[in-house]
Amino acid sequence: MSVEIGHFALVLAFVLSLVQSVVPLSGARLGSERLMRVGEPVAVTGLALIATSFAALTLAYVQSDFSVLNAWENSHSAKPMLYKITGTWGNHEGSMLLWVLILALFGAMVAFFGRNLPPTLRANVLAVQGMIAAAFLLFILLTSNPFTRLHPAPMEGRDLNPLLQDVGLAIHPPLLYIGYVGFSISFSFAVAALIEGRIDAAWARWVRPWTLAAWAFLTGGIAVGSYWAYYELGWGGFWFWDPVENASFLPWLSGTALLHSAIVMEKRAALKIWTVLLAILTFSLSLLGTFLVRSGVLTSVHTFASDPTRGVFILAILMAFIGGALTLFAIRASRLAPGGLFHPISREGALVLNNLLLTTAAATVLVGTLYPLLIEALTGEKISVGPPFFNLTFIPLFLPLLAAVPFGPMLSWKRGDLPAAAQRLQFAFAGAAVSGLVSYFLIDRASVFAALGIGLGLWLILGAVTDLALKMGVGKVKPSVALRRLKGLPLSMFGTTLAHAGLGITTLGVVCVTILETERVLVMQPGESMEISGYSLEYEALQPFTGPNYTEERAHFAVSEVGGRPLGEIVSAKRFYTARNMPTTEAGIRTMGLSQLYVSLGDKTNDGGIVVRVWWKPLVTLIWLGTLFMMVGGAVSLFDRRLRVGAPSRQRATAAQGASS
């Protein structure tokens, strides 16, 4: 019964989303206050309906109701409860339902927090949100209905893909979707501004918090996905330049650009047209990501099924929204008045540079991701574009960006002084250079690239710290005064410092693990030992173990320092999921400080040994620690009083003109 209620709620939500796309929009056109006000209750009711629908599906999973086709295909009664719940979105239909749930949540939040928005802007934003919701709800109802019944109901389900039976599934998709879908708000604001043909600094103030929130979640989603792939797949890699990873990285790149251009627009009323375009592009890339992942044109862990009608449907949605928004942009963009002047060497100039580099880097990733699809469509030839392509194109464009980051916050608005900025950064530069040199001479395997990379990471971290120290007046005023100043600094300043330092920390982790990691593949017999990077691993025994829905063979390794004290144990396993008849590798990981020892198992050999692959991954955890810094930076900025969502606009307008920090 609840399944039918869920289905019906979804149909109702679709009808309401049609109302939401038409009525507030016409209200804004006709200047009818009453019609415009329809948007809010409809958005909130829509959320309630989709939440009901989602709860109904979750219930089917929790109760192992295999009369529901979707639950039968992806669940099993012996599956642990956590994976029963997360399994709701561990499949195509359920994940699309999660997608619209988050979309509806954002729509309702605009209705709730946006009380201070000008009524026409709010009505238009809600209408555009309604259109997106309508398109995706129709998509679910027509091609991906999660509530299809199966008769007669089978006794047992087919179980969830073992690779997805992990806490990662509980965190990664929701975070990623909040990021993807969050950019729909920036998109809706941009389209609403184009419909009205009016845009100002206040607009940027409303858009920025939404973008910031979406960006922080997307950062987290990508990071969790990366760590999940790192430990679950057993290949020891943190980023594969897999098309699906790229699909999430593209909106991140353009979202980062949007975040920065919105600052220029808010503070200096410049870059208006560009910001609107970026808002459209960022959500378009999110949609493209959804298309690439959901249509089955790519093969990866993420493509749950390949049904051509779905691909065509999403492609149609994609073209309608991107095409529509860009057409509107082409017609209306010229109406948006150009903004303030600035010198190329200035804060604005630095942010423009940031935008140029981010968008060109995104363009190369886009080309590399779509090129194989294009070639196959045109010539039928199957080619693959792998990591070497991205290393050769993306990295040369991204390095200058990283090198330039510390300069940005040192330059003043309108007209900056580059030599003065360089002078202020001299300590950061010296620190980075010294650490690069030291690592070059101290680490025996360090190349010039490693030294430069380590220097670059520290340059970013020290640059971020320098910025904060200068704002506090360290060295110029008494420490007590500096501390008082620190307390008085706006939260967004800490956000910048944290995010930029996080970027440096991630860079440092990537450089260290890429250049300095050691790997050994060998056959080990029980009782045998091996050494790697100063650690010794003794293979003790292989022991069988039975889990709830799998069996596994666990290899136990005793870890110690070479010739020294024991450090404990690493357990690495080969697991076999009975329902799907599928083996998986469960890597054994031991974190030592910031570095990790990673053990993954291969096949057993005929003479009783086992193939073992061991990595020493120096400072690998910095990669994800850095992204955590970026996320926290985003969150801290979000709580800045000046940025609070939907705060009154009159004060804002004057404040925006006065403020130039």
Partner 1 sequence: MTRKQKRLAVIGTAMAFLGLAAGLTFYALGQQTSYFYMPADILTQPAEAGDRIRLGGLVQDGSVRRGEGTFVRFAIEDQQSAVDVIYDGILPDLFREGQGVVTEGTLGSDGVFVADTVLAKHDENYMPREVADRLKEQGVWKDGSDEEGS
CB 288 within 8 A of CB 247: yes
| Residue 306 DSSP one-character state | -
Of 280-288, 457-465, 582-590, 622-630, which part binds partner 1 (CB under 8 A)?
582-590
**Using rule CB under 8 A, residue 378 touches partner 1:** no
Among 303, 514, 560, 649, binds partner 1 (CB under 8 A): 303
* Contacts with partner 1, 249-288, as mask; x by CB under 8 A: ----------------------------------------
| Residue 533 DSSP one-character state | T
Q: Any idea which residue has 């492609």 for tokens? A: 315
Residues whose CB falls within 8 Å of the CB of residue 419, separated by 6 or more in sequence, listed in order: none
Residues whose CB falls within 8 Å of the CB of residue 103, separated by 6 or more in sequence, listed in order: 129, 132, 133, 136, 181, 184
C-alpha–C-alpha distance, residues 474 and 431, integer Å: 17
Of 21-29, 378-386, 403-411, 489-497, which part binds partner 1 (CB under 8 A)?
378-386
Least separation in angstroms between CB 124 and partner 1: 30
Rg (alpha carbons) of the chain, rounded to whole number: 27
**Using rule CB under 8 A, residue 603 touches partner 1:** yes
Among 304, 313, 459, 598, binds partner 1 (CB under 8 A): 304
Q: How many residues form the binding site for partner 1 (CB under 8 A)?
A: 61
Ordered strands of the 610-617 beta sheet: 518-524, 610-617, 595-604, 588-592
Least separation in angstroms between CB 4 and partner 1: 26
Least separation in angstroms between CB 573 and partner 1: 12
**Judged by CB, which is closer to partner 1: 355, or 627?**
355
Least separation in angstroms between CB 374 and partner 1: 11
Among 41, 197, 308, 344, binds partner 1 (CB under 8 A): 344
Among 244, 352, 460, 508, binds partner 1 (CB under 8 A): 352
Among 585, 596, 621, 627, binds partner 1 (CB under 8 A): 585
Of 160-168, 278-286, 457-465, 470-478, which part binds partner 1 (CB under 8 A)?
160-168
Strand partners, 561: 535
Least separation in angstroms between CB 302 and partner 1: 9
**Judged by CB, which is closer to partner 1: 122, or 260?**
260
User: Which pairs with CB-CB distance under 8 Å and at least 24 residues apart come from 296-304?
Assistant: 297/373, 298/243, 298/244, 298/373, 300/242, 300/243, 300/244, 301/161, 301/163, 301/164, 301/244, 302/244, 303/244, 304/91, 304/92, 304/95
**Using rule CB under 8 A, residue 396 touches partner 1:** yes
Distance set, CA 649 to CA 200, 342, 652 (Å): 11, 25, 5
C-alpha–C-alpha distance, residues 637 and 635, integer Å: 5
Of 323-331, 437-445, 527-535, 573-581, which part binds partner 1 (CB under 8 A)?
573-581
**Using rule CB under 8 A, residue 404 touches partner 1:** no
Q: Any idea which residue has 């679950």 for tokens? A: 232
Q: In this structure, are strands 582-586 and 529-532 parallel, antiparallel, or unpaired?
A: unpaired
Strand partners, 8: none
Among 580, 592, 594, 653, binds partner 1 (CB under 8 A): 580
C-alpha–C-alpha distance, residues 163 and 169, integer Å: 9
Least separation in angstroms between CB 384 and partner 1: 5
Residues found near partner 1 in the complex (CB under 8 A): 161-164, 233-235, 296, 299-301, 303-307, 341-344, 352-353, 356-357, 360-361, 363-364, 367-368, 371-372, 381-386, 388-389, 392-393, 396-397, 521-523, 574, 580-585, 600, 602-603, 605-606, 611, 613
